[in-house]
Structure 1
């Protein structure tokens, strides 16, 4: 409504005030146009005091011979001294000028008149009696449209009034008025003035009487016949009141949209039904959206939890990758040391093999020879021992020898003694040495005899035999001694033999022989474990060979393992870097996921609100559709047809009303009315009370008012 007021005020007042300064462009240079502005001065009660009409004729080819019908009197040319000729109620302008401006007087009744009523605190009184008084002011302007034309509408005659858009403006100085109010209008203020404006269409209520029902009744707000201005004052002064009116169906159509109401309502009803269906579909879709959003939110929560788990896992992967990288470095270092050890092991096995070849095999050969010799010596000792008589035989022999010695002759004694002594010495020495060697070897191999036992056995052996040289010397000495000493000498020689226990000696030798056999067997087994010329797979020598071969393979494998360890270290370093990137990326993903999760929660909440709003919209649209159908139903086809006929009649009448004082048929004319209410004359006291107005600066509004002076 405010924009319409401003538009109407601009169209009507500005056109009226600035008409003389505007030069429109026309397509036809021979076309004559007439722009008419009617200035009406009103008394404070709205009655007409005077009317001045200002006309502007224009023709691009000049106005010579142009006939201008008019009802004006006292016509005056405003721009030159040339006066028109008057013929049969028409003005003849014999001029080559393209523009003529003139004005005159008329006493015709304007198409729109106004009566003004004043009230102070609810009491009606003339304006002059209110001057200087305080209280609540109410000014009522009642408009009357005199352009009434009976028209047959819907089979009956109806008064159709030519539409005059009428703007009312009242200037109430801020110095004297406050709480200014104008229903169905607008109040514009500046530092000094308060302009109360409203637009009316007088006569339209009667024109559409009985047709504007239901929702169409709101159009009555535009069809005003009465404008009311209210305010409070501490000293009433007469407001400056202006009215402007003109016919403009174009502006009227923009505001009330008369044409094709029937079709418009049908479209409205159809569109409302479609909108209602769309609202229902929207409600269903938003409900589905809300459900899907809940499912999506639940699934995204699972995804977000998975991202968090992956992020946590990436930390473990990062830690593991770092440990792996460090371990790979340590492995590389350890493998380098192991490689050195393998090289040393290979060198050691080579040395061991060489040492075995150089020492073990010759030693085994020597041991074999020694075993053979020992075996032979044992056999020899056994043969020698087999030749030793038994103890009883030896004792008997000793006795026989003793008896023989005792009975021998002195001269044969010495020779016999020498023979016996030599034989005994040789036999005893040989047996002694052989037995001592065998017994000693047996004792060493057996290892079960104590040192005391070994000493006793050797002592016994030492006491049995004689050194050959000593026996020879003793025998030689004994032969050379007196025969008398022969018995003693023989006794001394044979006494140890008599005490010799050959049975024990043979038993000890048997034990030694058994132990020696066991020793030989063990040596055979031992040498067999050390070296076997036929099969070394299970011998020390074979193991050394295998160890050497394994060391060679280990060294070669260590070369490959070292290369693999280097590659592993490089891969572990890359894995460590990739794990760091993975952790960083998952950290960003986790952070972003939280933002998305929050956004989903907001969107989920919004979808719920949207679903609720869609449901509310659906309910509201259903109600609106019901009311729209009801409103459309209230306007039946007959009503719509009558409204359309009236709208057409209004347009025709508005286009026909082009001049107030007359215009030729071939002239394109237009007319506007501007009315100013002249206030009552003030007394001296009243003038003093309102003296503030006399010193105000000249404003646009003042210039408009000066048009009437």
Structure 2
């Protein structure tokens, strides 16, 4: 069996420890047999395996002891001694004062466990929905198998051996959320939801209780767990059962059920007065709620008006603050302006004088520009005339070419004339001279043409430059005339500016005197507005507090009216459906309680008689408890620990005992 999941703080070990501490105390030399039945359950609650751990203890060395056991595969857990087995008779020879052994059994358990699962409203096998998501429902039902027939006051009745069961279901928060249960408690540590459920299977059937009493006592045998699974995984389910932990024998004849009847009668009579008072209370609270609602409307109107007034005062305060700041800034600025007006007026006078001097000086510049423009015009005309002369000079080179051509013609003619040999030298000399003259003339004409062409090109550039200069001087002359005229206007305006600056200085002084008066008046206004702001804030705070408290009172009166009506309705229902029916001389519920103590005595008897599971020898005192757990396929069984329950883990069981006793003693 897997013990790793069972923490020392869990209700299962608490209950198991509580049961273990209930070992019967006997006299010297008596043997006590304590059995713990460990059952591994399938996912539907069916038993897969039963392993029984047995502890036999004496007050001294055990020696040879006779035991009875229906277990198989018996194994000594704390020694080397081996038993002699003859059917269900077992003989041990033990040198210690206690003996631990374990065995296996397929005998039916006293408590049947039935576990069902539903996913999204459909019945499912948990193996088929591993890892799935949806709305999950788990139903764990417990059924008592130990029915006994007893005689109570001369009547045969069927009652069950009283087993108290404690169920714990550990659900991991990573896989489930929004857990709800029909009974029991849910504890959440942030990692797991730990559900604990205590029940008494067969108890209500043994007492044959009315359904109303069953519901009143919350005697449920079925635990229903509902929630949302995001990645389904089988939860760990533990169940502990014991027949020896109820202290039923403390409920005896001194428990006066007749007192319960008398109390119910008085309660019924008091219910009439309670109902009348609840009605008066409901009517009065309803009237209070209506009247106070009208008062609350007036409070809301007052608070809204105070809010509007306070908002206006705040705007006035903000405006006054800005006005004060502006008046002070204006006065300070005018003071500075007034102080600087003298310097400004002096600067304007200096500026006016300088403008006059510049205007007069520029008159000479304007005259010079006009003269330069006129000279440029004449220069351009001269350059254009020189260019015309160059064209005539260039034409004269053509005449030189004509002279050279005529000389060449003469040379050809002379060359054709036949002369005597003694004159041939003269002829050649003349021809040579003629050729030199002709060649010289050609060179002169060519050089003259080239020079004149270059001179003509330079004259063209000069004429273009002269034309550009003339155009620029024309524009400069025109701009200078306009500038000179505007300069004259500026000179006149500076005189007007000088006169205006004198008047501005006088006006600034007058405005500054007025700003000082304004600043003083605004300061007085600010003080008054500050006082008004404080008063408005106090008023608004008071009305807001009144409104908030009024809301609470309205809510309170409404809740009081609603609650008093619900109280009246509940009181009426309690009287008519509860007290009147509960106290009825012929009421079956009251009659059923009459035999409860007698049935209890029989339950005590059969509870003490159920002292073993695997068998017990005559003369031994026995005690048995059952521990059941669903399978965990991810861990290994730890069978060697099944028979050992720590003696140091004993806990007080008074809470459970007290709860059970209250079922009878109320």
TM-score computed with the length of structure 1 as normaliser: 0.43
The structure whose RCO (Cα within 8 Å, separation 6+) is larger is: 2
TM-score computed with the length of structure 2 as normaliser: 0.45
Higher CA-based Rg: 1
